[in-house]
């Protein structure tokens, strides 16, 4: 492969507030819901249909952490691995609004909320995203807001 | 086992604001850091030492999502599975302050920030926790704040 065929990587300058994109889909199976729960969040509502039916969730559903991790994987394949991502300092909020049931095919809607250059590091900027995990009917299962650090194409250039 | 030997489960009434407890330890291996990243967050800084050394993290470190999931497992074993937990509506914030390196033995410090009865569901209340993931020197690697829904011993009783 020649250099000309390589995709140019996305920089901080390439993200525009208001931009929206949808990534996925990914089918979420009962098997992976239970396997994740057994490893990280072994509460009854994530492990067993009978126990889950007696809980607030009303039936087996993925751990909220599992939903966040699936979101991460979907956006990684969607755009993060094509961007000069330098990681994230954290999460501003995550809301688990509706249960993620086995057999659901999810997508992630990513919206650029805003962006700013770093005051202390001229080589990077922050891009704040709102991510929504959607089911097949576009119902929002989870909302997560997180800033991403992205390398600038022109470090320290005027904003 | 007779009923008398069963541990009584914790209810909403049993959590007191200001209470602090520490759970763990758990040793986090390079193998599990890379396996988690390969599944959910395949960015170079979580997968490969050489690639990671060129990033802001300065070396291989766990995905922030992995740290959150390990936190969840530590508190599940620590107290959540002994409580009448009804799940969590989400996360108010998570901050990944310092990298979690392979070979670190982590603990979780859980602090009860406040509690309130549910206005709409007399059978449960909210207990808001701050969780801090600590390394061997008590440095705080991650902070996470999340409310938990817990069943009340006396549903609808005066607060």
pLDDT in tens, A24-57: 999 999 999 999 999 999 999 999 999 999 888 8
Q: Is the pLDDT of residue A158 over 90?
A: no
CB A28 within 8 A of CB A106: yes
* CA of A65 vs chain B CAs: smallest distance (Å): 7
**Which of B58, B74, B87, B152 best tests the A interface by mutation, with the highest count of A CBs <10 A?**
B87
Residue B115, beta-bridge partner list: B127
CB spacing of B90 vs A91 below 8 angstroms: no
* Residues in A touching B140 (Cβ below 8 Å): none
CB spacing of A93 vs B95 below 8 angstroms: no
pLDDT band per the 50, 70, 90 thresholds, residue B155: confident
Q: Computed over its alpha carbons, how large is the radius of gyration of chain B?
A: 18
Q: What is the pTM of this model?
A: 0.94
CA dist B142 to A81, A97, B104, Å?
24, 24, 13
The per-residue pLDDT for range B26-60, each reduced to its tens digit, is 999 999 999 999 999 999 999 999 999 988 889 99
CB spacing of A96 vs B86 below 8 angstroms: no
Sheet holding A124-134, edge to edge: A20-28, A104-117, A124-134, A140-151, A93-96, B90-91
CB B145 within 8 A of CB B93: yes
CB spacing of A89 vs B72 below 8 angstroms: no
Write down the pLDDT at residue B68.
98
* Residues in B touching A88 (Cβ below 8 Å): 64, 96
ipTM given for this complex: 0.94
CB spacing of B64 vs A96 below 8 angstroms: no
Which residues 8-27 on chain A approach chain B with CB closer than 8 angstroms? none
* Residues in B touching A149 (Cβ below 8 Å): 56
Residue of A nearest to B145 (CA): A93
- Percentage of chain B beyond pLDDT 90 is 87
CA distance A25 to A45: 24
CB spacing of A87 vs B39 below 8 angstroms: no
Q: Is the pLDDT of residue A130 over 50?
A: yes
Which residues are CB-neighbours of A117 under 8 A, at least 6 positions away? A12, A125, A126, A152, A159
CA distance A122 to A151: 9
Which residues are CB-neighbours of B153 under 8 A, at least 6 positions away? B11, B12, B13, B14
* Residues in B touching A79 (Cβ below 8 Å): none
Number of neighbours of residue B98 by Cβ within 10 angstroms: 16
Residue pairs between chains A and B whose CB atoms are closer than 8 Å: 98
CB spacing of A89 vs B73 below 8 angstroms: no
Sign of the Cα pseudo-torsion (A47, B70, A151, B52, in order): negative
Average of per-residue pLDDT across B115-135: 96
CB spacing of B41 vs A76 below 8 angstroms: yes
Q: Please tell me which of the candidates A72, A81, A94 has its beta carbon nearest to residue B40.
A: A72
Flag whether residue A67 sits within 8 Å of chain B, measured between CB atoms.
no
- Which DSSP symbol is given to B153? S
**Which of A62, A69, A80, A123 best tests the B interface by mutation, with the highest count of B CBs <10 A?**
A69
CA dist A141 to A134, B136, B139, B145, Å?
6, 37, 34, 20
* CA of B103 vs chain A CAs: smallest distance (Å): 19
Look at residues A146, A40, A35, A44 and name the one whose alpha carbon lies nearest to residue B28.
Answer: A40
Look at residues A56, A57, A69 and name the one whose alpha carbon lies nearest to residue A28.
Answer: A69
> Reduced to 3 states, what is the DSSP secondary structure of residue B128?
strand
Write down the pLDDT at residue B6.
59
């Amino acid at each position: 492969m020649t250099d000309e065929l390589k995709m140019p990587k996305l920089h901080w300058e390439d993200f525009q507030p208001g931009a929206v994109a949808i990534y996925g889909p990914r089918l979420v199976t009962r098997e992976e819901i239970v396997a994740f729960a057994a490893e990280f969040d072994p509460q009854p509502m994530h492990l067993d249909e009978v126990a889950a039916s007696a809980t607030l969730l009303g039936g087996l559903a993925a751990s909220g952490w599992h939903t966040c991790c699936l979101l991460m994987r979907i956006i990684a394949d969607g755009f993060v691995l094509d961007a000069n991502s330098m990681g994230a300092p954290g999460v501003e909020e995550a809301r688990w609004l509706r249960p993620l049931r086995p057999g659901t095919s999810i997508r992630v809607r990513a919206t650029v909320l805003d962006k700013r250059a770093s005051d202390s590091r001229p080589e990077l900027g922050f891009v704040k995203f709102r991510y929504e995990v959607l089911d097949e009917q576009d119902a929002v299962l989870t909302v997560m807001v997180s800033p991403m650090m992205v390398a600038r194409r022109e470090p320290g250039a005027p904003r």
